[in-house]
Amino acid sequence: MAAARMARGGRAYSGRVIPQSFDSVDGWRTPSPRLLTLRRLEVVGTALVLAIVGGVIAALGAVVWGLAVLATAAVLGVLVERTLKQRFSAWGYLERADDLLVRRGVLFSRLSVVPYGRMQFVDVTAGPLERSFGLATVRLHTAAAASDARIPGLDRTEAARVRDQLAELGEAHLAGL
């Protein structure tokens, strides 16, 4: 195992073999593909609303303005749609022995590391849209307000598993402030 890790570019540090960087670690999981469908639906919905507004404006007589709103809706919709897939595939999480890793973002890429011992509580939320897709968001809270560990679009059963797993590991690793 250690040899295999070394072969992938790991190195020895503090007596343990640690990876060169967290990106080279295997085992990253991704949210459910239904999250992508959900996000697409949201974009289409917003574009549709804008288009209707445009149509109403055009019908009321200001044809140029109405068409302008329609065109903007179409262009924005297409642009956002194109980045959705990238943004979706940027999401990832990895449960290690001592900490949880969450990565996200395309323009601003972020990688959060939250040690289980620092976790104060875990909550699972699901909005109406998410619920109709059978999805849920898991969020980790630490004593630091700046901590930002959120995994959206998890399958409901997976969300429950992650929550229980985190709660159990948090209990085992708990450290005082």
Give the interface with another protein as residue ranges (CB under 8 A).
13-14, 16, 18-23, 98-99, 107-115, 117-118, 120-121, 141-149, 175-177
Q: Residue 72: count other Cβ atoms within 10 Å of its Cβ.
A: 14
Cα–Cα dist 35/94, whole Å? 18
Residue count (the chain): 177
**24 token code pair:** 């080279």
Q: Give me the least distance between CB of 116 and another protein, in Å please.
A: 10
Q: Give me the least distance between CB of 78 and another protein, in Å please.
A: 21
Q: Give me the least distance between CB of 105 and another protein, in Å please.
A: 8
CB nearer to another protein: pick between 18 and 50: 18
* Contact predicate 110/93, CB 8 Å: no
Q: Give me the least distance between CB of 174 and another protein, in Å please.
A: 10
Taking the CA atoms of 8, 11, 17 and 22 in sequence, report the sign of the dihedral they define: negative
Enumerate residues 6+ apart whose C-beta is below 8 A from 49.
Answer: none
Q: Give me the least distance between CB of 98 and another protein, in Å please.
A: 5
For the chain, the distance separating the N- and C-terminal CA atoms, rounded to the nearest angstrom, is 34
CB nearer to another protein: pick between 16 and 82: 16
CB nearer to another protein: pick between 22 and 28: 22
* Contact predicate 87/30, CB 8 Å: no
CB nearer to another protein: pick between 54 and 152: 152
CB nearer to another protein: pick between 46 and 142: 142
